Amino acid sequence: MHRFPWKRKRVALAALPATAMLVMAGIAAASGPIQTTSEMEPEAGAASGPTRITLKATRHVMAHRAVTFRGHVSPASSRRVVVQVGGRRVRAYSNDHGAFKARWRAPRAGVYRARAAVADSPVRSHRVQVNAYRPAAASYYGPGLYGGGLACGGTLRPGTIGVANKSLPCGTHLTLRYGHRTVRVQVIDRGPYAGNREFDLTAATKARLGFPSTGTVLSTR
C-alpha cells in the first residue's frame, strides 16, 4: 500500500517528455514558419522610386522679375528636383510631403517653357509656359487702309490680326498683353512711322486686346 503512490509518480515522470514534445509540436503548427527579414515581403504602399512630378508657375510675368515654380513629387518624400527653364537648371528639394518650389528670373522678354524632373530618375513633369513681357509704346491702324497691301505680303482687311514693326523680321511671333487680355500675333507690316512708338496694331488686334488708340502694351519681343 505504501509503494502505490510512488508507482503513480514514476508513470507521471515517464510521460513528461512525450507531453512536452506534443505541446511544442502544437505551438509550431499554430504559429507556422517564421520569416526572416530577407524573406518578408515589402509592406503594401511602401515608398519606392518616384512615379510622378507636377509643376506650376505664374503664366504672365514681367522680364527680370522673380518667377516661383511650385510642384509636387509622388510618392511624397524628400528628393532632389531640377527645373529646366530658359537654358538653365534650377535645383530644389522636395520636403517630406513631396512639395517643392524654385525661383528663377527671366533674363529678358520672351516665351519660356519649363519642365521639372526628379534627379537620377526618368520621371518628368508636363511643360509649363511662362510669358515674360516688357512695356512697348503702340498705336493702331486700319480704317481707310483696308484693301491695301502689307509689307510682309497679303492684304489688310478689317479682320486681319497682326502688328507692324520697323525691324522685327516678317512672320516673327510675339504675344501682346493689355490689362487681362492676351493675343498671339505675327509681324505682318512695317511701321509705325509717326511718334516714338514700336508697334502699330491692326484694328482687329486692337479690339481683341481692348486697346485704346495709343498707349503701352506688354510684349514678349
User: What's the pLDDT tens digit per position in 39-74?
Assistant: 334 344 435 789 999 999 999 999 999 999 999 999
CA–CA separation, 142 and 146 (whole Å)? 6
User: What's the pLDDT tens digit per position in 171-214?
Assistant: 999 999 999 999 999 999 999 988 889 999 999 999 999 999 99
Residue ranges and CATH numbers for the domains of the chain are: 52-126 (2.60.40.10), 132-219 (2.40.40.10)
Q: Comparing C-alpha atoms, which of 161, 217, 215, 219 is closest to residue 188? A: 161
CB 154 within 8 Å of CB 148: no
CB 72 within 8 Å of CB 101: no
Name the grid cell of 68. Answer: 516661383
* Weakest-pLDDT range from 2-11, 134-143, 180-189, 205-214: 2-11
* Count of CB atoms situated within 10 Å of the CB of 104: 19
**208, containing H or E segment:** helix 203-209
CA–CA separation, 7 and 90 (whole Å)? 90
pLDDT of res. 49: 86
